[in-house]
Amino acid sequence: MTAIERGLRLIQRELDDGTFKFRDTDEDIHTAVERRLTEITPAGASLHAGRSRNDQVALDLRLYSRWAAAQLVLAVSGAVDALAIKARDHAAWLMPGYTHLQRAQPITVGHHLLAHAEPLLRDAERLRHAYDSADEMPLGSGALAATTLPLQRERMRRELGFARLTVNSIDAVSDRDFLLDLIYGCTCAAIHLSRLGEDVVLWASSEFGFVRLPDEISTGSSLMPQKKNPDIAELLRGRTGRALGSLVALASVLKGLPLAYDRDLQEDKTALFAAVDSTLDSLTAAALLVEHLAFDRKQLAAAASDPGLLATDAAEELVRSGVPFREAHGRIGKQVVEGTAKAPWNARASLAKRDLVGAPHPRRVAARATAVRRQAAALKRWSETHPPGLPK
């Protein structure tokens, strides 16, 4: 171990136990570490050779972004798995499907829950793309024009576990696209969790009554003793603005910046940390929310018995007999208005006929839930092996 390595390990311990002393003359953490290292060993004066805070910060951001992307994928896998488990257990539970918040056609609880899992799976792929976007090693780029010293960039890349080297020193210190990719992934996940939260808020209302909220995921009122409020679901909606605000904030910082480095980029970390922390919290809370949801089968079945849900089935039955669909649509629509429409079968029989890939047939729903659980497990395995460990 070199004198510099021994000194840096001592500084790490001082930072960890709170004994590191910052001075007013320290411009930032970089100069503070270099100053303290030089106090420990004369070799510390060589620490900054061939380096700039510009490429060091770019490296730190990429290291953090890879870690954050992997942690977010892990959190997504937990939320997706919770949805898939609940969907599998409710694959055959009837409920109405909605468009415009109006009852539309019969589906199952499991089918609806999987409709929330699918976008989260896409979010995981966005986050893995953000990981790949950050997986370039910028050290050696210097302030903007690299260095005249013969640094071994490829060796540094291998030891730090990066997939690629940056190939333009100006771009390497000014690029924050990988942060936009990561925050965009957070924003999409937050938006999708917001939609899940809104559904739960509606389902928990007296007007729907589809779910009961156990104490683990609700609170009471300080005044009204009968209340059970869907706090977690509401916060999933409310927190969306944090990630979205971070995306807009960072995009605004980057807009119109001249190359290469500008102090404006100091603002990138505020946006980054806010988006990552908020999204991690929301994903964890969403998994807890779904795990504790208690559906009311009787209330769901009563809503699914609405004969209007089968109006489209009646029109399609006419199509089977040779009536053009538009004419069949008109006939059934008129019967609905007149109150004479008759369902050709019940909701459960309707589901049995919907035996297509992606349809709400209970068997299809159960099979898809199992497949989604496998995808969640694969995401978990990926996150546990990324990023690679740093040198000890």
Catalytic residues: 100, 221
Q: Which of 313, 325, 326 is nearest to 360 (CA)?
A: 313
In angstroms, the CA 190 to CA 279 distance is 6
**HSE of 184 in the Cβ direction (CA atoms, 13 Å)?**
15
Q: What DSSP letter does each residue of 52-65 carry, written as one string?
A: -HHHHHHHHHHHHH
Own/partner pairs for 33-42, CB < 8 Å, 24+ apart?
A: 33/8, 36/7, 36/11, 37/4, 37/7, 37/8, 37/11, 40/6, 40/7, 40/10, 40/11, 41/3, 41/4, 41/6, 41/7
In angstroms, the CA 59 to CA 136 distance is 9
- Triad 58, 64, 66: Cα angle to 5°: 100
Residue 244 · residue 189 · CB < 8 Å: no
